[in-house]
Amino acid sequence: MMNRFIFLLSLIIASSKILAQDSPIFTDRPNVTDAVPLISPGTFQVELGYANSQIPTLSSNSIPNLSVKYGLFDWLELRVLSNYLVNKTEFMGLETRSGITPIVFSPKFGLLEQKGAI
* Count: domains in the chain: 1
Question: Does residue 87 fall inside a structural domain?
Answer: yes
Residue numbers of the chain with a pLDDT score lower than 50: none
Question: Does residue 67 fall inside a structural domain?
Answer: yes
* pLDDT (0 to 100) of residue 30: 56
Query: Any residues with CB less than 8 A from the CB of 64 and at least 6 apart, and which?
Result: 30, 48, 49, 50, 83, 84
Question: Does residue 24 fall inside a structural domain?
Answer: no
Torsion sign over Cα 19, 20, 21, 27: positive
Question: Does residue 29 fall inside a structural domain?
Answer: no
Nearest to 40 by CA among 74, 16, 64, 69: 74
Domain hosting residue 83, numbered range = 34-111
* pLDDT (0 to 100) of residue 34: 66
Question: Does residue 88 fall inside a structural domain?
Answer: yes
Question: Does residue 51 fall inside a structural domain?
Answer: yes
What are the tens digits of pLDDT across the range 18-45? 555 666 666 666 556 667 788 889 888 8
Question: Does residue 118 fall inside a structural domain?
Answer: no
* pLDDT (0 to 100) of residue 21: 61
